[in-house]
Amino acid sequence: MDLSNADMLRMFEQMTRIREFDERAGLLMEQVKVHGSVHLYCGEEAIAVGVCEALNDDDYITSTHRGHGHLIAKGGDVDRMYAELFAKSTGYNGGKGGSMHMAALDLGIIGANGIVAAGLPIGLGVAFASQYQGNDRVTVCFFGDGATNEGAFHEAMNMAAILKAPMVFVCENNGYGEWSSAASTTSVADIVDRAASYGIAGAMVDGMDVAAVHEASIAAVARARSGAGPTLLECKTYRYYDHVGRDFGVLERDPDEIARWRARDPIKHWREVLIAHGVFDDNTADTITASIGADMERAIAKAEQAPDPHPDALYEDVYSESKV
């Protein structure tokens, strides 16, 4: 794979942006400064970035409850994202969605979703619209291993295969669905095995390696765009934190398991690759990380100062005004 230094650097910055965003989001949830549930993407950054770097600006994604990484990777503005977590009127959803419903339709981000696997049938509809309109846009559906046990997964995969829909189904297999291990809930160890039952292409990659995710995504996106149909791309990864927040205290995981995965941290790994390639040195990498961290602090301060939604917003946007 030919990645320019600029590409490699941007991927490092994007992964770092996601990590710095969510580490702070977790802390802010514990401090009860942000509202509701926050599902952290820490550990899975290579997937969102590896996939979205293979997309065009006008391609679409559907996301999940664990969606901050997808939004940032697809071009989301962290100022508006933090503002949404703080339930402010300047947030992406005007403070009416929160973490689980963040969307930016103008960036092709159809939305995070509080219902597991719901983004797959919606993504199918978006992809069908591209076929209908005759454009070459691709739709990526991100979802976890738990989503593959939902009926929506089966229905959407089958119809996507029948329609040869321009889609990539990206399964972030982090080993846990909420507080239950995939081993205890899922009939296959490798989600990619489920692709065969729909007669579609399947690929499995190391979800901790952004280059591997990116290379597989380029192939899957090209297949979708060419009209050859969808791909199920399984990315093996790990959720560093709890289902909700950093430590919700329901599930006890083996500390060795956590340590093993953290030792393969996608950002740390990519940083070493970039240093080996001479893209930057340790000092520059530290400076970049610190600078992104400072951006987050500014965004948080700005979000804290932003206005709450006006009480009238309660009644707005339930219905569209229709002139029939």
Partner 1 sequence: MTNKTMTAAINEAIDQEMSRDDKVFVAGEDVRVGGPFGTEAGLHAKYGDKRILNTAISELALTGIGVGAAAVGLRPIIEIMIMDFVAVGMDQIVNQMAKMKYMLGGQATLPIVVTTHAGIDSSSAAQHSGSLEAWFCHVPGLKVVMPSNAYDAKGLLTASIRDDNPVIFISNKRCMASMMEVPDESYVVPLGVAEVKRSGSDVTVVALGRLVVDALTAADELAKEGISLEVVDPRTLSPMDMTTILASVKKTSRAVVAHEAVRNCGVGAEIAATIADEAFDFLDAPVKRVGAPFTPVPFAPALEKEYLPGAQEIIDAVRSLYS
57 is a contact residue toward partner 1 (CB under 8 A): no
Query: Is the CB of residue 12 less than 8 Å from the CB of residue 270?
Result: yes
Q: Which is nearer to partner 1, 62 or 217 (CB)?
A: 62
# residues contacting partner 1 (CB under 8 A): 49
96 is a contact residue toward partner 1 (CB under 8 A): yes
207 is a contact residue toward partner 1 (CB under 8 A): no
Span 121-150, contacts to partner 1 by CB under 8 A: 121-133, 139
For residue 274 the two structure tokens come to 């970039």
Among 31, 184, 187, 320, binds partner 1 (CB under 8 A): 320
Would you give the distance in Å from CA 113 to the centre of its chain? 11
- Shortest spacing between CB 154 and partner 1, in angstroms: 8
Contact range with partner 1 by CB under 8 A, out of 89-97, 230-238, 269-277, 292-300: 89-97
- Shortest spacing between CB 75 and partner 1, in angstroms: 15
- Shortest spacing between CB 139 and partner 1, in angstroms: 8
Span 97-126, contacts to partner 1 by CB under 8 A: 97, 101, 103-105, 110-111, 113-115, 118, 120-126
For residue 166 the two structure tokens come to 């321009």
164 is a contact residue toward partner 1 (CB under 8 A): no
Among 30, 36, 56, 162, binds partner 1 (CB under 8 A): 162
Q: Which is nearer to partner 1, 162 or 228 (CB)?
A: 162
Span 271-290, contacts to partner 1 by CB under 8 A: none
Distance CA 70, CA 22 (A): 12
- Shortest spacing between CB 121 and partner 1, in angstroms: 2
Query: Is the CB of residue 168 less than 8 Å from the CB of residue 51?
Result: yes
177 is a contact residue toward partner 1 (CB under 8 A): no
How many degrees, rounded to 5, is the angle at CA 92 between CA 87 and CA 98? 40
4 is a contact residue toward partner 1 (CB under 8 A): no
Outline where DSSP puts E strands in 108-212: 109-111, 139-144, 167-173, 176-177, 180-181, 201-206
For residue 9, give every residue at least 6 positions away whose Cβ sits within 8 Å of its Cβ, in sequence order, or none.
274, 279, 280
Q: Which is nearer to partner 1, 110 or 279 (CB)?
A: 110
Determine how many CB atoms are found less than 10 A away from the CB of residue 313.
13
Distance CA 200, CA 223 (A): 11
For residue 103, give every residue at least 6 positions away whose Cβ sits within 8 Å of its Cβ, in sequence order, or none.
92, 93, 97, 109, 110, 111, 112
Helices and strands in the chain: count of H runs, count of E runs: 11, 8
- Shortest spacing between CB 110 and partner 1, in angstroms: 6
Residue whose C-alpha is closest to residue 244's, from 93, 61, 34: 34
92 is a contact residue toward partner 1 (CB under 8 A): yes
318 is a contact residue toward partner 1 (CB under 8 A): yes
Q: Summarize as ranges the residues that interact with partner 1 (CB under 8 A).
A: 60, 62, 91-97, 101, 103-105, 110-111, 113-115, 118, 120-133, 139, 151-152, 155-156, 158-159, 162, 316-322, 324
